[in-house]
Each structure stands twice: as structure tokens, then as C-alpha cells.
Structure 1
Amino acid sequence: MAELRNCPRCNAIFNFNGLRDVCLQCHQEEEDLFQQVYQFLRRRENRAATVERIVEVTGAEEKQLYKWVRKRRLQPAQFPGLGYPCDQCGTLITQAKLCRTCSDSIKNDLKHEESNRQFQEASKSHQQKTYLSTRNTK
């Protein structure tokens, strides 16, 4: 079911149905800009263009380019200069939400936390056994 929302670009009211996150007019402007960016990138000499170069030539915003790459409208396999920032550190990536470094860091932190928890549980269990054994010998 559609709900009324304000367009984040122009503040116009539109029916949000989950397919578009902007009003119809802004969506059309985005599509026109996408075509301009895509035509720029299709030229052989521009296929490896960086995000900064694309912004400079086409006038598209970095945020919009990142959105198109995340949604796979622009494929980094075809255009190797493209990517979007890691959610944690900002390094350009081409898949997932985190770069390998941040992902590995989180995994290591979780392993460290799990080993600490196991140590604390073992220590607590050992203290209880020691307390019970000293209590039973008295």
C-alpha cells in the first residue's frame, strides 16, 4: 500500500510505493542523468574513469553514483573505476557493505569477545567447584 512522503530532493509530496524513493519528476531527472553517465562510461576511453572524474564531467553527485553501483545499475566489472564506500571506513568497495579489512576486524573482535566469555564462564565454574569442595570438606 502506498503512503504519502516528501521527496528528499525537492520536498514535493508523492505516493511512496517502495519502488522509487523520490517523486516522479526527480525520478525522471535521475534517469536522464543516469543515461548521461552511462553514455559517458560506455566510451572506451572513459570505462576506467574514477568517481571524481565522472562527477566532474557529468555533474552527477557522488552519492547518486554510489547508489547506482549499490543497486548494480552500474557494474564495477564493466567499469573498474567505480565502487561505493565501506559503511565503516569509507574505502571504495564493489560488493557487500564492509571492506575485507573492516569485516575481518569485526570477526576478530567477535572471536576475542567469545573467548573472553568462555574464559569468564570457565573461571566462574571453577570458583563454584572450589567453593563447594572447600565447603564439603569442613
Structure 2
Amino acid sequence: MNEVVDCPRCGELYAQNAFRDVCPKCSRSEEALYQAAYTFLRKRENRAATLERVVEVTGASEEMIQKWVKKGRLQARQFPNLGYPCDRCGAIIQAGKVCNNCIEELESSLKLHDREQAFERERKESQQRTFLSKRS
């Protein structure tokens, strides 16, 4: 069942659903801005436009453009200078949720944690063997 909420853009009440995060009126205006941005970017000379240039020309906000890239409505492979922020550090990325640097940091942290856990297990097992051998 849809929940009735305030539109984050205009404040009107609307029935929220899985497809829209704003009211129908704001959704229509966002769709018009999307069409303007997409039309601008489709021109060969504009495909390498920066986020700031697209905002300047179309009037769409940076957040909207980043949302469209994140949702796949604007394909990053077609428009190489567009992206959205990494969920962890905020660096601009074009795919996934975190950047390569954050992935590497997380992987190294996990490897370190695994090594520490293995060392702790070995230490406990060694103590148990020592303890058992003293009892004999």
C-alpha cells in the first residue's frame, strides 16, 4: 500500500510509490529537465560535457543529473564526464556504489581482519594444547 508523504521538492502531499520519489507535478518537471539534458547530451559535440556545463545549459540540478546516471537513465559510457558520488568517500564514479580506492581499502581491511582472526585462533589452539599437555 502506498504511503502518503510530503514531496521533498514542493511540499505537497502525494502517494509515494516505488517509481517516484517526488509528487506527480514535480515528476513531470523533472522529466522535462531530463529530456532537455538528454537532448543536449545526444549531440556529438556535447557528449563530453561536464556536469557543470549540463547544469548550466539545461537548468537541471547536479543531484538530478547524478541520480539519472546512478539509475542508468544517462549512460556513463556514452557521457564520460558524468558520474555520481561514491557512497563511502564522495569521489565521482560511473558505476557501482563505491570507488576503486574504497574497494581496495575495504579489501585490505578485510584481509587484515582475517589474518588477525587466524592468528587469534592459532594462539588459542596453542594455549589449549599446552594446557592439555601439562595435565597429562
Whether the TM-score (by the shorter chain) exceeds 0.5 is yes
Show the counterpart of 1:43.
43
Task: Quote the Cα distance in structure 2 between the aligned partners of 1:81 and 1:56.
Answer: 15
Percent of aligned pairs with the same amino acid: 50
Show the counterpart of 1:12.
12
> Are 1:84 and 2:84 an aligned pair?
yes
> Given residue 46 of structure 1, which amino acid in structure 2 is its aligned partner?
N
Show the counterpart of 2:115.
115
Give the TM-score, by structure 1 length. 0.93
List runs of 5+ in structure 2 lacking aligned partners: none
> Given residue 59 of structure 2, which amino acid in structure 1 is its aligned partner?
G
Show the counterpart of 1:52.
52
TM-superposition CA deviations, 1:13-55 (whole Å, max 9, x none): 1011211110000000100111111111112211100111111
What is the deviation of 1:62?
Answer: 0.9
Task: Quote the Cα distance in structure 2 between the aligned partners of 1:123 and 1:33.
Answer: 62
Task: Quote the Cα distance in structure 2 between the aligned partners of 1:9 and 1:132.
Answer: 69
Task: Quote the Cα distance in structure 2 between the aligned partners of 1:57 and 1:90.
Answer: 24
Q: CA RMSD in A?
A: 1.1
Task: Quote the Cα distance in structure 1 between the aligned partners of 2:129 and 2:8.
Answer: 62
SS in structure 1 at match of 2:5: strand
What is the deviation of 1:87?
Answer: 1.1
TM-superposition CA deviations, 1:99-131 (whole Å, max 9, x none): 111111101111110110110011011011111
Show the counterpart of 1:100.
100
Task: Quote the Cα distance in structure 2 between the aligned partners of 1:117 and 1:82.
Answer: 41
List runs of 5+ in structure 1 lacking aligned partners: none
Aligned residues: 136
Task: Quote the Cα distance in structure 2 between the aligned partners of 1:103 and 1:83.
Answer: 17
